[in-house]
Structure 1
Amino acid sequence: MQPVPYLFFNGNCREAMTHYGVIFGNEPEIMPFEDMPDDVQAEMPGVPDDAVMHASVAIGDGMLFACDDSSGQVPEMAGSDVCIALPDEAETQRVWDALAQGGDVRMPLSAVFWTPLYGLLSDKYGVRWMIMTTSNHE
Structure 2
Amino acid sequence: MSVTTTTHLNFRGAAREALDFYRSVFGGRSVAVTYQDAGAVQDENEADWVMWGEVVGDNGFHVMAYDVPGQLPLARGKNPFFVSVRGEDTGEITALWGRLAQGSTVVRPLEAAQWAPLYGMLTDRFGITWVLDVTVPYNG
TM range (shorter): 0.3 to 0.5
Q: Is the strand fraction higher in 1 or 2? A: 2
Determine which structure has the larger helix proportion and give its number. 1
TM-score (norm 1): 0.48
